[in-house]
Amino acid sequence: MEAQSPTPSRRTLLRSGAGLGAAALGLAATAPTAARAADWAAVAYPPTHWIPASASNYTVSSRPTAYPVDFVVVHVTQETFPDAMKIFQDPAKKVSAHYMVASADGYIGQFVREKDIAWHAGNWDYNTRAIGIEHEGWVDRPEYFTDALYSASAALTAAVCDRYGIPRTRAHIIGHSEVPGATHTDPGPLWDWDRYLRLVKAQPAALA
Ligand SMILES: [Zn+2]
């Protein structure tokens, strides 16, 4: 995606969507057992806001029953939050992510339920096994990679990892550019992986 890059403060004008918890995660539809559902309910997700993508932009599934969830794929939008949101809601675009984190304040929008397959990695096999997290900004504008963005995203990634038993390691928390066959360069060399992994690993364990 390419676009102009207006100031981060513009982003707050165009948000919509109400916060949801378990419903947005698709818990009832994906939990194979009542005990597992109880475990998932204990996972400490940061606040998220349900802003559904167009149903034309992802594949309905029943993960992790249908496919294991093994990866978190980190993206940078190359768009503002509201512009990327409009892309996810446009049935002609054929693209989506599970989550997007806003630069200025770490607001997290959820666009696709985790049980479903978002179209973000450019690789079907990876899409089936990944949770995709977009970050508002541009690969060559590190001022968008704020403390708030890193912090909120790290809390989200830690919760996702714990929900599916994904190790909190670089082997499982990867950049879009590291997906086999990727034609995208995000999150780019200015994304601070050391800092991000340190924050992810510092999150308290979600399950006892
Ligand atoms: Zn990407």
Tens digits of residue pLDDT in 131-155:
999 999 999 999 999 999 999 999 9
Is residue 150 situated within a structural domain?
A: yes
Domain span holding position 54: 33-202
Q: Domain tally for the chain?
A: 1
Contact 46, 159 (CB under 8 A): yes
Is residue 67 situated within a structural domain?
A: yes
Is residue 2 situated within a structural domain?
A: no
Question: Does the pLDDT at position 33 exceed 70?
Answer: no
Q: What spacing in Å lies between the alpha carbon of 24 and ligand 1's midpoint?
A: 22
Element (H, E) at 86: helix 81-88
Q: What is the pLDDT of residues 106-130, one digit of tens each?
A: 999 999 999 999 999 999 999 999 9
Is residue 179 situated within a structural domain?
A: yes
The two structure tokens encoding residue 168 = 């909190």
Q: Who has greater pLDDT, 28 or 143?
A: 143
Is residue 24 situated within a structural domain?
A: no
- Please give the average per-residue pLDDT across 61-86, as a whole number: 98
Q: At 195, which CATH number?
A: 3.40.80.10
pLDDT, position 39:
52
Beta-carbon count within 10 A of 125 CB: 12
Q: What spacing in Å lies between the alpha carbon of 62 and ligand 1's midpoint?
A: 23
Q: What spacing in Å lies between the alpha carbon of 75 and ligand 1's midpoint?
A: 4
Q: What spacing in Å lies between the alpha carbon of 35 and ligand 1's midpoint?
A: 35
Q: 3-class DSSP state for residue 130? A: strand
Is residue 149 situated within a structural domain?
A: yes
The two structure tokens encoding residue 197 = 């992994």
Question: Does the pLDDT at position 30 exceed 80?
Answer: no
Q: What spacing in Å lies between the alpha carbon of 38 and ligand 1's midpoint?
A: 32
3 confidence band (pLDDT: 50, 70, 90): very low
6 confidence band (pLDDT: 50, 70, 90): very low
Q: What spacing in Å lies between the alpha carbon of 33 and ligand 1's midpoint?
A: 33
Rounded-to-integer distance, Cα 182 and Cα 129, Å: 16
Q: What is the pLDDT of residues 178-193, one digit of tens each?
A: 999 999 999 999 999 9
Q: Which amino acid is at 22?
A: A
Mean of all residue pLDDT scores within the chain:
86
Q: What spacing in Å lies between the alpha carbon of 192 and ligand 1's midpoint?
A: 16
- Residues whose beta carbons lie less than 5 angstroms from ion ligand 1: 75, 176, 184, 186
Q: What spacing in Å lies between the alpha carbon of 73 and ligand 1's midpoint?
A: 8
Is residue 15 situated within a structural domain?
A: no
Is residue 6 situated within a structural domain?
A: no
Question: Does the pLDDT at position 43 exceed 80?
Answer: no
Q: What is the pLDDT of residues 75-103, one digit of tens each?
A: 999 999 999 999 999 999 999 999 999 99
Q: What spacing in Å lies between the alpha carbon of 19 and ligand 1's midpoint?
A: 25
Q: What spacing in Å lies between the alpha carbon of 176 and ligand 1's midpoint?
A: 5
